[in-house]
DNA sequence: CGATGTGAAGCGTTTCACAGCA
DNA sequence: TGCTGTGAAACGCTTCACATCG
């Protein structure tokens, strides 16, 4: 398996996974890169090139065996096993994340949640124990946890990130609206709905003028959001 | 203002905004591209190049006036006004989104929520009225709403997207775990924590072997997640 | 002198086009 | 014949390096 895969390629693999599962559920056994591309909104060439980074999975003249490719991608992404995670910050958002039923079926198990507020420490959220922030490092080290979900306010997020990294966390799913700084080798993904909305408004900016049917100075074609 | 801006550039502007606000709060009046780059985890060159797509905002020998640049970026992104949005799908996730206090201060106002379930139609979530899905199109058209937040189950999401697009929605913030298909000119941003986690596991995949201190065949440097 | 704005170079990703194989 | 896998071309983004100017 090649040692340097473009990050954009890795980012697309979960999409492939999801679509292949749907196809398997529909009883589709073989799929061509053209068909997969249509389902995913990409080009056949991109799918073939992406997969070629990891090996040769197709049968010429036929396409890809859905079930086999599903298995291969699952293994490539490291999803044949389950992953324990911790959550930091048990506010409104943190609770919603713990309660979200989509993580467990994908193999991500929230083992503990941490918060600085003594009034909620000791309680349970959806059977996940809330522990004091001071015990965070020990728990992560003892349980050999590598993934953390961060749902604290933005102003303490960087401190928490530094602590997480120091005790062995290697992947952080960040819900705090801030710019995370981490050393090389640590993967951070930030989920930020406001940021997403703020990029959309750029493209919507002055559309009301167009809607008013006033044929002003001809507005040039503006780039649209990808996908 | 140029008519074709790379999408990656637009995606970064909200980050710039956020950081500039923090700097303004800290009383910083002037910032150089080097300082901004450090705060953002990018290079000075990228910031200068990004900004250059929209005009000339800096003073040579000095840097950028924080407050002025903030205003310019706010205008560029179309954020000097507030944006009405609708939410579709009032399940656990939909409620969490409505309840999330971060949208309103940024100027995004959820005007109505829609759901097919008659048992919740007519209720309010955090003072947002839940209306029947059948009234969705009329409401969007009457109120001239351009942005929708989608929080339905994945299997109905594409149908909803088609309806949204048909009645004038131009930007969709998609929380459904699926691949959205939209015509050109419609902006979709998908928020998918599972996808984010699944890309992280790729980089963590076989780290336990390394941890076990068994000096196996030398493992090459593997690419890490950007940022 | 210090920092911007920007052509041009460098680099990474996507697309093309076709050889090779079932 | 049909579709994969893949070098090579095309494209787009990032980085460089410097002329320019307060």
What share of chain A has pLDDT > 90, as a percent?
88
A84-98 per-position pLDDT tens digit: 999 999 999 999 999
B134-153 per-position pLDDT tens digit: 999 999 999 999 999 999 99
Quick check: A58 and A33 in contact, CB under 8 A? yes
CA angle B97, B177, B84 (to 5 degrees): 35
Question: pLDDT tier at B217 (50, 70, 90 boundaries)?
Answer: very low
Would you say residue B73 has pLDDT above 70? Answer: yes
* Residues 6+ positions from A163 with CB-CB distance below 8 Å: A136, A137
Where in chain A is CATH 1.10.10.10? 7-76
A49-78 per-position pLDDT tens digit: 999 999 999 999 999 999 999 999 999 999
* Residues 6+ positions from A60 with CB-CB distance below 8 Å: none
Could you tell me which of B160, B178, B83, B165 has the C-alpha nearest to residue B115?
A: B160
Q: What is the rounded distance in angstroms from the CA atom of residue B94 to the CA atom of residue B82?
A: 21
* Phi, psi (rounded to 5 degrees) for B58: -95, 170
A100: tokens are 């979200």
B155-176 per-position pLDDT tens digit: 999 999 999 999 999 999 999 9
Footprint of strand C on the protein (CB under 7 A): A 6-9, 42-43, 45-46, 48-49, 59-62; B 32-34, 44-45, 48-49, 51-52, 56-64
* Residues 6+ positions from B212 with CB-CB distance below 8 Å: none
Hey, which residues does B16 pair with through a beta bridge? none
Would you say residue A183 has pLDDT above 70? Answer: yes
Q: Report the pLDDT value the prediction gives residue B65, as an integer from 0 to 100.
A: 98
B59: tokens are 């003073």
Strands (E), B34-80: 58-59, 63-65
Q: Report the pLDDT value the prediction gives residue A206, as an integer from 0 to 100.
A: 78
Quick check: B101 and B161 in contact, CB under 8 A? no
Hey, which residues does B148 pair with through a beta bridge? B86, B172
What is the mean pLDDT of the segment spanning B48-54?
98
What share of chain B has pLDDT > 70, as a percent?
90
What share of chain A has pLDDT > 70, as a percent?
90
Q: Report the pLDDT value the prediction gives residue B224, as an integer from 0 to 100.
A: 36
Would you say residue B80 has pLDDT above 90? Answer: yes
Nearest-CA residue relative to C1' of C15? A45
Q: Report the pLDDT value the prediction gives residue A215, as an integer from 0 to 100.
A: 37
Where in chain A is CATH 3.40.50.720? 83-194
What is the mean pLDDT of the segment spanning B100-113?
98
Question: pLDDT tier at B114 (50, 70, 90 boundaries)?
Answer: very high
Q: Taking all residues of chain B, what is their mean pLDDT, rounded to a whole number?
A: 92
- Using left for φ > 0, alpha for ψ between -120 and 50, and beta otherwise, residue B108 falls in beta
A126-176 per-position pLDDT tens digit: 999 999 999 999 999 999 999 999 999 999 999 999 999 999 999 999 999
Would you say residue A209 has pLDDT above 70? Answer: no
State whether the Cα torsion A54-B11-B60-B3 is positive or negative.
positive
Chain A: closest CA distance from residue B56 (Å) = 19
Quick check: B31 and B63 in contact, CB under 8 A? yes
So what's the architecture of B7-76 in CATH? Orthogonal Bundle (1.10)
A38: tokens are 């249509």
What is the mean pLDDT of the segment spanning A23-52?
98
Chain B: closest CA distance from residue A191 (Å) = 7
Which residue from A3, A103, A195 is facing B221, i.e. has the nearest CB? A3
Question: pLDDT tier at B208 (50, 70, 90 boundaries)?
Answer: low
Would you say residue A218 has pLDDT above 90? Answer: no
CB atoms within 10 A of CB B167: 15
Q: What is the rounded distance in angstroms from the CA atom of residue B20 to the CA atom of residue B220?
A: 39
Q: Do A14 and B198 touch (CB under 8 A)?
A: yes
Q: Report the pLDDT value the prediction gives residue A1, as an integer from 0 to 100.
A: 56
Q: Classify domain B83-194 at the CATH superfamily level.
A: NAD(P)-binding Rossmann-like Domain (3.40.50.720)
Quick check: B108 and B147 in contact, CB under 8 A? yes
Q: Report the pLDDT value the prediction gives residue B210, as an integer from 0 to 100.
A: 52
Q: Report the pLDDT value the prediction gives residue B207, as an integer from 0 to 100.
A: 72
Which residue from B180, B197, B199 is facing A10, i.e. has the nearest CB? B199
């Amino acid at each position: 398996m090649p040692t340097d895969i473009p990050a954009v390629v890795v980012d697309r693999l979960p999409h492939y996974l999801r679509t292949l599962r749907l196809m398997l559920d529909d009883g589709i056994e073989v799929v061509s890169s053209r068909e997969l591309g249509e389902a995913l909104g990409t080009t056949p060439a991109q799918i073939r090139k992406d997969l070629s980074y990891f090996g040769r999975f197709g049968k010429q003249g036929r396409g890809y065996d859905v079930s086999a490719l599903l298995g291969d991608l699952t293994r490539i992404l490291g999803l044949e096993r389950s992953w324990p995670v911790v959550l930091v910050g048990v506010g409104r958002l943190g609770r919603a994340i713990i309660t979200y039923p989509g993580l467990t079926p994908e193999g991500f198990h929230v083992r503990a949640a941490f918060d600085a507020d003594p009034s909620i420490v000791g309680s349970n959220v959806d059977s996940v124990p809330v522990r004091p922030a001071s015990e965070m490092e020990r728990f992560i080290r003892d349980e050999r946890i590598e993934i953390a979900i961060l749902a604290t306010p933005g102003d303490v997020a960087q401190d928490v990130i530094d602590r997480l990294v120091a005790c062995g966390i290697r992947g952080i799913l960040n819900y705090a609206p801030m710019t995370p700084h981490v050393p090389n080798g640590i993967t951070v993904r930030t989920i930020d709905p406001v940021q997403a909305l703020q990029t959309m408004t750029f493209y919507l900016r002055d559309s009301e003028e167009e809607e008013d049917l006033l044929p002003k100075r001809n507005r040039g074609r503006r780039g649209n959001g990808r996908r």
